[in-house]
Structure 1
Amino acid sequence: MPSQLIDRQTNGVFIISATPFTETGAVDDASTDRLVDFYLEHGVTGMTILGIMGEANKLTAEEATGFAARVLKRVGGRIPVVVGVSAAGLDNLASLAHFAMDAGAAGVMVAPSPGPAVEDRVRGYFHQVCAALGPDVPVCLQDFPQTTGVPISAATILTLTRDCPQIVMLKHEDCPGLAKISAVRAGSGTADTPRLSILCGNGGLYLPQELARGADGAMTGFAFPEMLVEVVRAHQAGDPDRAEDVFDAYLPILRYEQQPGYGLAVRKAVLHHRGAIACPRTRAPGPKLSPTDEAELLRLIARTEKKVKEL
């Protein structure tokens, strides 16, 4: 295991990694190594793998464990790595989680199981998850109702982190969700509720405001990780204006990446353009850029790079 697991104070930028594929759709080991190096070179605090952006639902069990093992070996303990282990069955979830922890992961990320959006059902599910994982596996609770279809209230999040000591981090992706960040931050770190680390997703689209509301950083996959790193660094240094200036320079391409059902193809195309992966392919069924899309994206990249130089 790494020397430092994720905990209730964890902060910074945990970049969510893509899963690179070859032209034939196989997991690309060489690009996996290049992508890890790319993220490290751009100063990320940690990594998260096998999430939605990582197309984890399109991988076989063997591919998922192989990819996790390769990433963890390449990282070599230099930064913490969180592994997404959400699965339909608790046995499969626990098996992948324990494999990842034994291979050096710093914690696991779990989303609620699909089903009726009933608060006591969500609480019951996470109690079962924590019991299956055991007390030594730190858990990041993924709150992404736009994808899972399961909203979780701030009150339930606070109850879970009280009742389940393993739940030390919230991956916040609810939208609109700024009020929820305020509620979770105000309700944790109190006499009866331990502090909860909050890292935010949604591509970083609301990152300056989320940090101002009390978030500890970002856990998302924007293809310019240096922006996320600098925004969080400036905010932590007490310079929110600098943080917003940097953020604003990247906003057009950030917004372009956030197109529902299409953004992953854009993100992979940017990573390919930047030399981080050899092929921008998403695994079928998945979106693909047209020549018009690619020309549009290249223009956005050029304009972004020009703005950043001026900044």
Structure 2
Amino acid sequence: MPLDTASGAFAIAPTPFHPDGRIDYDSIDRLGDFYREVGCTGVTVLGIMGEAPKLDGEEAVEVATRFIRASQGLAVVVGVSAPGFASMRGLARKAMEAGAAGVMIAPPPSLRTDDQIVTYFRQASEAIGPDVPWVLQDYPLTLSVVMTPAVIRRIFAENPSCLMLKHEDWPGLEKISALRAFQADGSLRPISILTGNGALFLDFEMERGADGAMTGYAFPEMLVDVVRLQKEGRRDAAHDLFDAHLPLVRYEQQQGVGLAVRKYVLARRGLLASDAQRKPGPVLSDRAKAEVEYLLSRVARVDRRAAISPQLARAS
């Protein structure tokens, strides 16, 4: 699937670990099968929620390669953001050799002016090579780099190999509308816009012109269905399903513990052998786990896929 025409749901995959910190390759295989079975069109690995900074260079290549192998039939995007271009180039080249559909690049927090931002991405694109398709990640809430629609247009104009925007601004609905307006007036070539931010605004992002989602909610089936329903014009059905999941989506989006919540739910679903994060990382309290269980029971009133029997829970 060419990235500039990609749509649907790209699941942001967590990196599974055993409690002792070793990479859990069997859980990677389960996740790959699961994402394909529930209708995802792609998988993104080694993103911000993939604990990429906790992996050394060799481990990053191994994780990316294993996900690519486990996700046959899906477009796999590999996060390659790094402090220096040498390590970015090395991981990008190895990911593409392994069969990735492209890579994703986020800006370093030090960028402030529009010219600094545009120059950085031009240099990054040159570093990985013009033959490597890449995704521009726009996530000012975490990365503190603010890119206006005009700056994003400049980045796409200067870098033909930049094919997709991962849109995670907040509030960001007007930004999607502005970018689609640029496309309509011919000042921006056609690009794919997939949205993140834990899917908090996916219901209306689709109505503003997004092509789909690229985020890591623990029920990617919901993302798949909301995108599909919106594309079918079934607005109320899309919002009804989204609204049922929204309390759990919100809980999972908490700064600092969001990944712990996501891994806990994925372990409860039998997809991860453990909800462990590689240290340093927070651990959910018993009170927090009880709150998640309550939210799961409420989602299950509308969506039975959230009805997880206690006996199916894995040790966490």
- What interval of TM-score do these two structures reach, taking the shorter chain for normalisation? over 0.9
Q: Which residue of 1 aligns with 2:235?
A: 240
Q: d(CA) in 1 for partners of 2:61 and 2:277? A: 19
Match of 1:17 among 10, 13, 35: 13
Q: Which residue of 1 aligns with 2:103?
A: 108
- Deviation of 1:188 after TM superposition, in Å, equals 2.2
List structure 1 segments (4+ residues) > 3 angstroms apart after TM superposition: none
Q: CA RMSD in A?
A: 1.3
Which one-letter code corresponds to 1:238 in the other structure? G
* Structure 1 segment 22-61 matched on structure 2, within 5 A: 22-61=18-57
Asked if residue 65 in structure 1 is aligned to residue 61 in structure 2, the reply is yes
Q: Which residue of 2 aligns with 1:265?
A: 260
Q: Which residue of 2 aligns with 1:176?
A: 171
Superposed CA offset, 1:46-89 (max 9, x none): 0000001101111111110000111111123x111000000000
User: Does the aligned pair in 2 maintain the 1:189–1:195 contact within 8 Å?
Assistant: no
User: Does the aligned pair in 2 maintain the 1:185–1:196 contact within 8 Å?
Assistant: no
- Deviation of 1:44 after TM superposition, in Å, equals 0.6
Q: d(CA) in 1 for partners of 2:128 and 2:254? A: 35
- Deviation of 1:189 after TM superposition, in Å, equals 4.9
Secondary structure in 2 matching 1:219: strand
- Deviation of 1:130 after TM superposition, in Å, equals 1.2
Which one-letter code corresponds to 2:167 in the other structure? H
Q: d(CA) in 2 for partners of 1:108 and 1:116? A: 20
- Deviation of 1:191 after TM superposition, in Å, equals 2.7
The alignment-based identity, stated in percent, is 50
Gapped regions of structure 2 (runs ≥ 5)? 306-316
Q: d(CA) in 2 for partners of 1:214 and 1:5? A: 18
User: Does the aligned pair in 2 maintain the 1:143–1:172 contact within 8 Å?
Assistant: yes
Q: Which residue of 2 aligns with 1:209?
A: 204
Q: d(CA) in 2 for partners of 1:162 and 1:188? A: 12
Q: Which residue of 1 aligns with 2:249?
A: 254
Which one-letter code corresponds to 1:38 in the other structure? F
- Deviation of 1:162 after TM superposition, in Å, equals 1.2
Which one-letter code corresponds to 1:186 in the other structure? A
Which one-letter code corresponds to 1:201 in the other structure? G
User: Does the aligned pair in 1 maintain the 2:179–2:188 contact within 8 Å?
Assistant: no
Q: d(CA) in 1 for partners of 2:184 and 2:91? A: 31
Q: Which residue of 2 aligns with 1:159?
A: 154
Gapped regions of structure 1 (runs ≥ 5)? none
Q: d(CA) in 2 for partners of 1:309 and 1:73? A: 30
Asked if residue 136 in structure 1 is aligned to residue 138 in structure 2, the reply is no
Which one-letter code corresponds to 1:33 in the other structure? D
Q: d(CA) in 1 for partners of 2:102 and 2:111? A: 27
Which one-letter code corresponds to 2:276 in the other structure? R
Match of 1:291 among 286, 290, 293: 286
Asked if residue 5 in structure 1 is aligned to residue 12 in structure 2, the reply is no
Superposed CA offset, 1:182-205 (max 9, x none): 111111254342012100001101
Secondary structure in 2 matching 1:96: helix
Q: Which residue of 2 aligns with 1:282?
A: 277
Q: Which residue of 2 aligns with 1:231?
A: 226
Q: d(CA) in 2 for partners of 1:192 and 1:222? A: 34
Q: d(CA) in 1 for partners of 2:253 and 2:186? A: 39
Which one-letter code corresponds to 1:107 in the other structure? G
Superposed CA offset, 1:154-197 (max 9, x none): 10001111111111110001111111111111112543420121
